[in-house]
Amino acid sequence: MAKYVIVPGRGKVKVDNSVFGCGRVYTSEDTENTRRETPYERTKREVYATGNKWAIENFHATHD
């Protein structure tokens, strides 16, 4: 029976000596150490990426 792992950005992938794009073999340990970003964290990252101090201030006023 083939083993499968969930690879971020790639979905369910067969493990049998599979090498992806960057030449790295993904294992179940790689997927166990990753966690999904919450909507709060994603929005905060996007607001900070703009560098707009008013948007950052507004984000903290409405979310903290």
Give tens-digit pLDDT for 4-41.
777 777 777 776 654 555 556 656 665 566 677 888 88
Tokens in use for 18?
């599979």
Q: Do the Cβ atoms of 30 and 15 come closer than 8 Å?
A: no
pTM, entire model:
0.46
Residue 7's pLDDT is what?
73
Q: Is the pLDDT of residue 2 over 80?
A: no
Q: Which amino acid is at 37?
A: E
Summarize the confidence of residues 31-59 as an average pLDDT: 85
Q: 18: Cβ–Cβ under 8 A, 6 or more apart, which residues?
A: 25, 26
Q: What is the largest CA-CA distance in the chain?
A: 55
Q: Do the Cβ atoms of 10 and 21 come closer than 8 Å?
A: no
